[in-house]
């Protein structure tokens, strides 16, 4: 698979599908580009998708503070894949916030946005401080472990809230060690997610975006996600909402068929270029 400098950073990427529209996909923290494989199987007749490993993830380069602020860096990498024209941008969790940042910085490169479970906690802090405080309480054990430098315990608590339901004890020792090391990346995301260092909540910033936006959440996700989607829907002029029944935060992995169906429904509303009708698309390509 290809690799090279994107957004000034050593980046690894892969492509899925052979559809008529170009898309860029931004995965969640602690994952890698292959996490989109399940969704991509369903979208391959509609989209040609480029998915890249975030800084410090997978086969992309290592990240440290000298590389730049994590969300802005990720948005810049994504934007580099859209130099030849606007693309559909699909992001999950932290990747959804980076997709939104890309739309703010390079709106001419974004044809549409799909924001799956965006963890833009600053929205909740502004709109529903009670819910934001409840989420901070739910993450108190994670915060305490990080403050004590116990990154393995922090990773265990983090995955209990935001993971795919797999028990910590069921992970291989090598996986647990890698996740513990990656807690530094989670901390690197916090200024953008909690403090809005990108200024996206400043008056008129999100309100100026004119591309269509799909806000997608799981019905079993933490309540803060619904509050964030409420706030983004209020600010984004062309936003619409959808809920994946029975799904939690990791909906693209646990419910790829349902997530893909909502994405296809949303994208078919934009007629240029046209997408194949769903009845002509395979339910899943093996």
Domain extents in the chain? 3-128+193-280
- Express each pLDDT in 199-250 by its tens digit: 999 999 999 999 999 999 999 999 999 999 999 999 999 999 999 999 999 9
Burial of 10 (0-12, 13-18, 19+ CB in 10 A): middle
- Express each pLDDT in 16-62 by its tens digit: 999 999 999 999 999 999 999 999 999 999 999 999 999 999 999 99
Please, which pLDDT band fits residue 281 given cuts at 50, 70 and 90? very low
- Please state which of the four CATH numbers 3.40.50.720, 3.30.1360.30, 3.40.190.10, 3.40.50.1820 is assigned to the domain occupying 3-128+193-280: 3.40.50.1820
Mean pLDDT on 136-155: 96
Strand partners for 63: none
Percent of the chain with pLDDT over 70: 94
Mean pLDDT on 113-125: 98
Asked whether residue 273 carries a pLDDT value surpassing 60, the answer given is: no
Mean pLDDT on 103-120: 98
The pLDDT of residue 278 is: 45
Dihedral (CA of 90, 91, 92, 97) sign: negative
Structural contact between residues 256 and 38, judged by C-beta atoms closer than 8 angstroms: yes
Mean pLDDT on 77-105: 97
- More confident: 166 or 12: 12
For residues 195 and 180, give the distance between their C-alpha atoms in angstroms, rounded to a whole number.
Answer: 24
The pLDDT of residue 283 is: 33
For residues 196 and 40, give the distance between their C-alpha atoms in angstroms, rounded to a whole number.
Answer: 30
Percent of the chain with pLDDT over 90: 89
Q: What is the pTM of this model?
A: 0.93
Please, which pLDDT band fits residue 285 given cuts at 50, 70 and 90? very low
Residue 115 host element (H or E) = strand 110-116
Asked whether residue 77 carries a pLDDT value surpassing 60, the answer given is: yes
Asked whether residue 276 carries a pLDDT value surpassing 80, the answer given is: no
Of the candidates 133, 131, 120, 83, the residue with the CA atom closest to the CA atom of residue 205 = 120
Structural contact between residues 203 and 103, judged by C-beta atoms closer than 8 angstroms: no
- More confident: 165 or 40: 40
Tokens of 187: 């901390």
Please, which pLDDT band fits residue 282 given cuts at 50, 70 and 90? very low
The pLDDT of residue 2 is: 86
Strands 47-52 and 239-244, bridge-based pairing? unpaired
CA distances from 16 to 22, 151, 247, 259, 266 (A): 10, 34, 24, 16, 19
The pLDDT of residue 85 is: 84
Angle at 13 between CA 103 and CA 159, to 5 degrees: 80
What is Dmax (Cα atoms) for the chain?
Answer: 55
């Amino acid at each position: 698979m290809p690799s090279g400098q994107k957004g000034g950073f050593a980046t690894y990427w892969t492509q899925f599908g052979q559809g008529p529209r170009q898309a860029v996909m931004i995965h969640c923290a602690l994952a890698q580009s292959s996490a989109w494989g399940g969704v991509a199987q369903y979208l391959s007749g509609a989209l040609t998708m480029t998915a890249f490993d975030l800084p410090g993830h997978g086969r992309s380069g290592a990240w440290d503070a000298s590389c730049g602020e994590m969300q802005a860096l990720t948005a810049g990498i994504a934007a580099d894949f859209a130099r030849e024209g606007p693309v559909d941008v699909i992001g999950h969790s932290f990747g959804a916030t980076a997709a939104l940042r890309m739309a703010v910085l390079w709106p001419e490169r974004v044809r549409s946005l799909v924001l799956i479970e965006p963890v833009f906690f600053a929205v909740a802090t502004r709109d529903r401080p009670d819910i934001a405080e409840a989420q901070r309480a739910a993450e108190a054990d994670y915060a305490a472990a990080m403050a004590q430098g116990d990154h393995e315990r922090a990773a265990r608590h983090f995955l209990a809230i935001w993971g795919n339901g797999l028990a910590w004890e069921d992970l291989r020792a090598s996986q647990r060690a890698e996740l513990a090391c990656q807690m530094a990346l989670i901390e690197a995301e916090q200024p953008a997610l909690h403090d809005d260092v990108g200024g996206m909540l400043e008056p008129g910033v999100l309100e100026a975006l004119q591309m269509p936006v799909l806000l997608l959440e799981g019905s079993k996700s933490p309540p803060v996600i619904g509050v964030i989607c409420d706030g983004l829907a209020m600010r984004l002029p062309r936003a619409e909402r959808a809920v994946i029944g029975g799904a939690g935060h990791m909906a693209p992995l646990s419910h790829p068929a349902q997530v893909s169906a909502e994405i296809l429904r949303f994208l078919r509303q934009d007629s240029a270029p046209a997408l194949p009708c769903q009845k002509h698309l395979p339910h899943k390509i093996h």
